[in-house]
Amino acid sequence: MRNTICLLLLTACFGYAQDVASIENGKTFTYKSSPATVTEEQLLKKEDFKLSDGRMSVNSITCKIQNYGNTNTILVSVVCQQQAFNLLGVDKINDMILVANEKVRNSVQVEHQYNPTEIKMAYIPDSQDWSLTSSFTVQDEDGVVIERHLAIDFDVNGKFEVMKRIL
């Protein structure tokens, strides 16, 4: 019985040790995975969209997005037909923004620092798909910052199709 209690206490200690990094000068530092350190992403709301001439649009709204435990502030612009907006909804548009951010982030080399700056998104009625352009900077191990752009396409239902480099 005593061994069982010791084993349970040891297991609990290992779980706690996973979140606490160290104690230095009386301060406790926690890893980014700790729920207390995670800030909530702030994306588009239905109220952000304006209706004009049958089009729903958002022009350069500041949003917050998570990347490897860091919160990045980006500008987001969206334009689409009211019918396409009603079909998809703001939650799916936000989901496409998150998927695009993840795809772009994963395309950056591991040793480079990724910093998204702007996302522009539009519904193309002729091809019935969504086109998204992601602008971001990459800082290499020497500290050189390079601005890059990628285009990401989604189908009419918001499913990822392809990512292309923009020169």
DSSP states of 83-134 as a string? HHHHHH-HHHHHHHHHHHHHHHHHHS-TTSEEEEEEEEEEEETTTTEEEEEE
Angle at 67 between CA 43 and CA 77, to 5 degrees: 35
d(CA 148, CA 130): 20
C-alpha of 162 from chain center: 18
Q: What is the CA radius of gyration of the chain?
A: 21
**Domain definitions of the chain by residue range:** 1-38, 39-166
pLDDT tens digits along 24-80? 444 444 444 444 444 578 899 999 999 999 999 999 999 999 988 889 999 999 999
Q: What is the pTM of this model?
A: 0.73
Report which of residues 22 and 152 the model is more confident about.
Answer: 152
Q: Grade residue 12 by pLDDT with cuts at 50, 70 and 90.
A: low
pLDDT confidence of residue 67? 86
